[in-house]
């Protein structure tokens, strides 16, 4: 077996980012439902047109078999993926979609139990990508990018379909739908709300031009203050107390100066989203217009039709009041110069148990560690998580760590 140096990775940065995305998707669905019900049939056609523009099929055979679930008010599951590579006109138009997904999460919504469950999946899990087994080992978050890069005619949904196939093989539970969120689009939402005010958790400067502390288009934020400064030329600063969309993006994008790295960046995105939600709750009429819906749908892609989303918001509204979050406990490992997460059978079984129970499905054995087949030579090189981390493969690992209240 090849020599490998292991290290402890921050288990919570990607999971907090995923919870953020999950709440954003749930918020989006509720906004569509509320707007549709209040604006009524006069605007329904326009709402459907806007939402349908964000539709992209995965091409999976199972996709057409689950349309009845929402109408029947059955428990459903989503794969939520996050990215921050920017858009030019939205997910569906002139967009370079070949990139890694920053975070991944499985969301289940159970209207009978009135509960929504968010399970963060480590993006760096070592896996064998469905359809691209000859590239083993790979990280789970590369599944989407491999399909996109290999076929110039593939749709965004096709790439997500590869990620779904890989996940389903690894964990043995069904994924009914997906939603991909472009976090850069939160700036557009902030502008539609007329700006927001947030307290910065630290003092830092960020240039939208250089992504560092110097350069043009420069922002200066201060710890514990809602006030910040901006200089288009990088020198002549003016002071503001309310962020527009560009200021919000600058606040959420900085990572190099943050002592907590990507975790700190995720925490600032959480602060930003909470401020958005708070402002919407304080004045819901602000979002009751098609312009807001268009802004939101431009930054979310899914295989949900407008009809599905409106029915989902109507039939599953009660489940949004009780949201529980869990994180997957893997072990950080360096292999061939790259960092991975290794997840044992017991840890995968914990995920399988939680998702299947949330969907009212019978219990079942989890999938294989790498999903798709690997050769014996490849297995000898990387070893199995069960062999490498036996302490993580006990009955204690059959329970996911709850993140409620965090």
Token digits for 169? 């093989």
| Reported confidence tier of residue 86, pLDDT bands at 50, 70, 90 | very low
Q: How far is it, in rounded angstroms, from Cα 138 to Cα 268?
A: 29
Which residue would you say has higher pLDDT here, 3 or 142? 142
pLDDT tens digits, residue range 9-55? 344 344 445 555 555 566 566 555 555 544 455 556 666 777 777 78
Q: What is the residue-averaged pLDDT of the chain?
A: 80
Residue of 194, 157, 204 lying closest to 178 (CA atoms) = 157
Whether the link from the prior residue into 127 is cis, omega within 30° of 0, is no
pLDDT at residue 175 greater than cutoff 80: yes
Structure tokens at 282: 């304080």
Confidence of residue 2 (pLDDT cuts 50, 70, 90): very low
Question: What pLDDT is recorded for position 33?
Answer: 55
Both tokens assigned to 79: 């794969």
In order of their start, the domains of the chain are: 13-186+287-402 (3.30.420.590), 187-282 (3.40.630.190)
Q: Which pTM value belongs to this model?
A: 0.76
* Banded model confidence at residue 100, pLDDT cuts 50, 70, 90: low
pLDDT number for residue 368? 92
Residue 87 binned pLDDT confidence (cut-offs 50, 70, 90): very low
| Predicted pLDDT of residue 46 | 67
- Asked if 370 and 37 count as a contact pair (C-beta separation under 8 A), the reply is no
At 44 the three-state DSSP class reads helix
Torsion of CA 121, 122, 126, 132, to 10 degrees: 60
* Span 325-357, pLDDT tens digits: 887 778 889 999 998 999 999 999 999 999 999
Integer Cα distance of 47 and 67 in angstroms:
20
């Amino acid at each position: 077996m090849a020599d490998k140096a292991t290290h402890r990775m921050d288990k919570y940065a990607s999971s907090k980012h995923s919870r953020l995305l999950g709440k954003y998707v749930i918020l989006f669905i509720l906004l569509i439902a509320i707007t549709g019900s209040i604006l009524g049939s006069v605007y329904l056609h326009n709402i459907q047109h806007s939402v349908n523009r964000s539709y992209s099929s995965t091409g999976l055979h199972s996709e057409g078999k689950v349309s009845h679930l929402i109408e029947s008010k059955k428990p459903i599951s989503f794969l939520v993926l996050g990215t921050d590579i920017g858009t030019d006109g939205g997910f569906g138009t002139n967009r370079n979609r070949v990139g890694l997904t920053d975070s991944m999460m499985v969301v289940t919504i159970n209207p009978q139990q009135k509960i929504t469950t968010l399970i963060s999946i480590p993006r760096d899990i070592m896996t064998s990508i469905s359809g691209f087994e000859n590239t083993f080992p790979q990280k789970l978050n590369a599944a989407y990018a491999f399909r996109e890069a290999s076929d110039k005619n593939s749709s965004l949904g096709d790439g997500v379909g590869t990620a779904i196939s890989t996940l389903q093989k690894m964990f043995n539970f069904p994924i009914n739908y997906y939603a991909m969120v472009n976090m850069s689009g939160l700036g557009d939402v902030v502008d539609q709300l007329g700006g927001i005010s947030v307290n910065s958790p630290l003092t830092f400067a960020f240039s939208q031009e250089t992504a560092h502390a110097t350069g043009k288009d420069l922002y200066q934020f201060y710890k514990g203050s809602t006030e910040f400064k901006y200089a288009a030329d990088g020198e002549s600063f003016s002071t503001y107390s309310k962020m527009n969309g560009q200021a919000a993006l600058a606040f959420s994008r900085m990572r190099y100066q943050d002592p907590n790295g990507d975790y700190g960046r995720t925490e600032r995105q959480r602060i930003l989203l909470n401020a958005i939600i708070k402002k919407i709750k304080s004045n819901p009429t602000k979002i009751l217009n098609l312009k807001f819906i268009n802004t939101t749908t431009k930054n979310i892609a899914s295989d949900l039709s407008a009809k599905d989303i409106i029915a989902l918001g109507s039939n599953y509204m009660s489940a949004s009041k009780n949201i529980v979050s869990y994180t997957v406990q893997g072990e950080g490992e360096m292999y061939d110069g790259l960092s991975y997460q290794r997840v044992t059978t017991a840890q995968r079984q914990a995920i399988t148990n939680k998702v299947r129970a949330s969907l009212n499905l019978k219990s079942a054995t989890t999938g294989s560690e790498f999903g798709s087949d690997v050769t014996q030579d490849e297995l000898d090189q990387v070893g199995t998580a069960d062999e490498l981390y036996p302490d993580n493969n006990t009955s204690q690992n059959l329970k996911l760590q709850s993140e409620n209240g965090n």
